[in-house]
């Protein structure tokens, strides 16, 4: 069925914090909640206030922040937990209970007892004027007749939303679409959420299929973080909804900023090949690809990078053809004849050990081919210390790692003070050092640099040398 309504339910502060190694402070949670609200996320799951005092404090602060988004507290299906969740002043409580036979056995609950527990918890929440979502944990693996029964009882008790998680990510798009089509007919009176885990890499596809099957809410996290392999990523599904269905659910031009914020606060680095926000998402390397993209970007781009505030990048390597090389050289202000361009391309393809050609490399090759000095003479071998300042919403370690991979870089330190990173660089020429500096400046999240040229290098005497001086 056509998708007519989509609500993003962001659970970065709950599911996302369950990522191994992630632990947001109260202030960081508040910052993330404000950011989510700022881009237009409709529902924010702020956490389970029964987990710890700091989670309780964060949920309560977020609920009282005056955000436009609906604030949700997650909790188990018992009155005590629901009561504490309600005391946070949230708009909604999300009451969860495992509904598979295995889960019920592990809790020593019969089906009747499980239904009774859910009904009692929901009725208590509703009696205090709070909206309720019932989460049937592991719903896609539950026995279907019991799933329908407990969902109907939840709706009758007052739940107006039902979340059906694919808890271990074993569904496929066609199966989950059929699943939501079926249950939305068998359980009336509530809207359905999908919560798709990414264990088999299908979270985004399954979420879209669930929406096509009748779900109206999709649970997401920024950068797809969460338990194990994470869940549906906010940025990927937001762009997919726009590109494939013409539905714009958030401010797409703010996705890179939001991704960088959560990358920094979570410590989970976004992979270069990640859709939408990955460093390589709009990079083109293959010769045929580049030629086609330069002619018409839609040939190899599902959507223009400008949609999310980004730019495309043409990468020059042994895979490059003359179109890519010509485009890059012209961007540097260098015009070559067809014969000269052919020689430059052949020179590039002859070096199998070079992964990527920098601008300085291309200029040097062009100089050799043309016999014309395209740049002024520069002194040989220069060293410098570069101080790098990062934007406040960026994970510093991810930038430090990228800088460390550059061949001119000798040492990298994350430091305190006005600058965040200190880099020691050694390059054959000032031109090469400047090229390295420009690449550092071009890294996403770098806001400024300050360069000190090394005039003289002194090393401390080794212990044996000190002893020699003493005895001489």
- Active-site residue, 323 included: no
Residue 48 contacts residue 68 (beta carbons within 8 Å)? no
The catalytic residue among 284, 289, 352, 452 is 289
Q: Which two tokens stand for residue 74?
A: 């997650």
Q: How far apart are CA 429 and CA 57, in angstroms?
A: 55
Residue for token pair 């264990």: 199
Residue 163 contacts residue 197 (beta carbons within 8 Å)? no
Task: Give the bridge partners for 92, in sequence order.
Answer: 72, 131
Long-range contacts of 413-420, Cβ-Cβ distance < 8 Å, separation of 24 or more: 418/389, 419/387, 419/388, 419/389, 419/450, 420/388, 420/389, 420/390, 420/396
Q: How far apart are CA 449 and CA 248, in angstroms?
A: 37
Residues marked as catalytic: 289
């Amino acid at each position: 069925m056509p998708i007519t309504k989509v609500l993003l339910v962001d659970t970065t502060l709950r599911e996302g914090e369950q990522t191994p190694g992630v632990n947001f402070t109260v202030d960081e949670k508040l910052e993330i909640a404000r950011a989510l609200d700022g881009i237009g996320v409709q529902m924010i799951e702020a956490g389970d206030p029964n987990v710890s005092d700091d989670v309780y404090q964060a949920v309560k602060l977020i609920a009282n922040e005056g955000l436009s988004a609906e604030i949700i507290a997650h909790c188990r299906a018992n009155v005590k937990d629901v009561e504490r969740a309600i005391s946070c002043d949230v708009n909604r409580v999300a009451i969860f209970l495992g509904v598979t036979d295995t889960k019920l056995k592990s809790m020593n609950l019969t089906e009747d007892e499980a239904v009774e527990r859910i009904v009692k918890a929901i009725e208590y929440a509703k009696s205090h004027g709070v909206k309720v979502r019932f989460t049937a944990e592991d719903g896609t693996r539950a026995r279907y007749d019991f799933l329908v029964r407990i969902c109907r009882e939840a709706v009758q008790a007052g739940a107006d939303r039902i979340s059906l998680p694919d808890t271990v990510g074993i569904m496929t798009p066609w199966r989950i679409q059929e699943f939501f089509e079926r249950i939305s007919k068998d359980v009336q009176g509530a809207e359905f959420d999908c919560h798709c885990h990414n264990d088999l890499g299908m979270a985004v596809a399954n979420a879209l299929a669930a929406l096509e099957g009748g779900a109206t809410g999709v649970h997401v996290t920024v950068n797809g973080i969460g338990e194990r392999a994470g869940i549906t990523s906010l940025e990927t599904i937001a762009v997919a909804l726009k590109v494939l269905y013409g539905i714009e659910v958030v401010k797409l031009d703010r996705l890179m900023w939001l991704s960088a914020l959560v990358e920094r606060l979570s410590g989970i680095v976004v992979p270069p090949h990640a859709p939408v926000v990955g460093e390589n998402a709009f990079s083109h390397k293959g010769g045929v690809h580049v030629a086609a993209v330069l002619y018409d970007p839609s040939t190899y781009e599902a959507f223009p990078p400008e949609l999310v505030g980004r730019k495309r990048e043409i990468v020059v390597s042994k895979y490059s053809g003359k179109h890519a090389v010509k485009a890059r050289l012209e961007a540097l202000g260098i015009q070559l004849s067809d014969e000269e361009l052919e020689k430059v391309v052949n020179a590039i393809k002859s070096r199998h050990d070079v992964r990527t050609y920098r601008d300085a490399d291309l200029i040097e090759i062009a100089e050799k081919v043309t016999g014309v000095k395209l740049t002024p003479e520069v002194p040989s071998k220069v060293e410098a210390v570069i101080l790098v300042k990062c934007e406040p919403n960026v994970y510093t370690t991810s930038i430090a790692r990228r800088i460390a991979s550059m061949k001119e870089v000798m040492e990298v330190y994350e430091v305190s003070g006005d600058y965040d990173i200190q880099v020691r660089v050694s390059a054959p020429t000032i031109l090469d050092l400047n090229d390295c500096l420009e690449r550092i400046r071009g890294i996403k999240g770098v806001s400024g640099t300050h360069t000190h040229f090394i005039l003289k290098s002194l090393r401390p005497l080794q212990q044996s040398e000190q002893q020699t001086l003493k005895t001489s």
